Amino acid sequence: MEKNTVKVLIIGSGPAGYTAGIYASRANLNPLIYEGNQPGGQLTQTTEIENFPGYPEGIQGPEMMEQLRQQALRFGARIESKTIAKVDFSSRPFLCVDEDGNEVLAETVIVSTGASAKYLGLSDEEKYRGLGVSACATCDGFFYRKKNVAVVGGGDTACEEALYLSTLAKKVYLIVRKDYLRASEVMQKRVREKENIEILFNCNTVGLFGDDGVEGAKIVEHKGTEREQVFDIAIDGFFLAIGHKPNTDIFRGQLDMDAEGYLITAAPTTRTNVEGVFAAGDCADPIYRQAVSAAGTGCRAALDAERFLMEH
């Protein structure tokens, strides 16, 4: 097993982790980035990014993440394509152990582990995972060309996924539990204008069915009211787009977090409750969750780590 001693360990990639890597390496801190099992994070599962400043024509998510990665490498960041499985923040240097049992002793740690898609919690989601259930339209949409699919959720992600799928699938149901979409106006308009997207307002999915894969979903409209009615829709693909859960389980009991698991930082810094441990990006952001705001906190975390190392 290897033993590595580093000034800055960055756990997680994505815009926050790579930006922290760019800043820390330019400050000669030789950061080590553990990029995890989804290098580049959530943006590698998206299509076009239109709102990151500097790309007037937009850019594909995976391409932007590869550019950030290359930029971090260019200044000397080292990257491990593995996950950190365990951390001990009780004393410094912090002991972090990766999935293969290799140990990293880190003088500072920047946590940028991001967030993962949420599921409804139906047992059928487990049963049909990979057999019609997905939380990533851009990864799996291709399998549903000229078929019927459903997307659950009423936010920007759901609209984006529905729009993307509408270019491939025959028909897209957008299953929304309230009587309105919470997505931005521009996304709502695009969805409404698509002929092959049907919005099912006030609807909840209570089950999926099918022999070898998803063949349909059981929907309850106006659940719990006098108008309640149950019906089935015939679909081959069921896509979740109902928000995200921060990837912070390995820090439980060591770093302060809110009820949902988002890490708590001492605003306006990225300091956590453990001196020398900083948090950046979606794992510490229940509000904005944008690529550009994640990159911004990655920058701040690297500057905070640099300052901390100078003072200690």
Q: Which residues are designated catalytic?
A: 136, 139-140
Region 220-249 residues binding ligand NDP, contact defined as CB under 6 A: 242-243
Q: Which residues contact 256 (CB under 8 A, 6 or more apart)?
A: 263, 264, 272, 273
Query: Could you tell me which stretch among 17-25, 163-171, 176-184, 213-221 binds ligand NDP (CB under 6 A)?
Result: 176-184
Region 180-209 residues binding ligand NDP, contact defined as CB under 6 A: 182
Query: Could you tell me which stretch among 60-68, 100-108, 156-164, 223-231 binds ligand NDP (CB under 6 A)?
Result: 156-164
Tell me whether residue 78 or residue 177 sits nearer to ligand NDP (CB atom): 177
In this chain, which of 177, 222, 223, 245 binds ligand NDP, going by CB under 6 A?
177
Tell me whether residue 137 or residue 152 sits nearer to ligand NDP (CB atom): 152
Nearest to 110 by CA among 269, 260, 267: 269
**How many CA atoms are closer than 13 Å to the CA of 231, on its beta-carbon side?**
12
The answer to whether residue 155 forms part of the interface with ligand NDP (CB under 6 A) is yes
Q: Which residues of 48-74 are buried (b: 16+ CB within 10 A; e: fewer)?
A: bbeebeeeeeebbbbebbeebbebbbe
Six token digits for residue 301: 């975390």
The answer to whether residue 110 forms part of the interface with ligand NDP (CB under 6 A) is no
The answer to whether residue 136 forms part of the interface with ligand NDP (CB under 6 A) is no
In this chain, which of 39, 154, 210, 298 binds ligand NDP, going by CB under 6 A?
154
* Residue whose pair of structure tokens reads 């693909």 in the numeric block: 237
In this chain, which of 7, 194, 271, 289 binds ligand NDP, going by CB under 6 A?
289
The answer to whether residue 297 forms part of the interface with ligand NDP (CB under 6 A) is no
Six token digits for residue 86: 């365990």
From residue 305, alpha-carbon distances to 95, 143, 288, 296 in Å are 17, 44, 23, 14
In this chain, which of 156, 198, 215, 221 binds ligand NDP, going by CB under 6 A?
156
Tell me whether residue 99 or residue 156 sits nearer to ligand NDP (CB atom): 156
3-state secondary structure labels for all residues of 24-45: HHHCCCCCEEECCCCCCHHHHH
Contacts with ligand NDP by CB under 6 A lie at: 51, 120, 152-158, 160, 177-178, 182, 242-243, 289
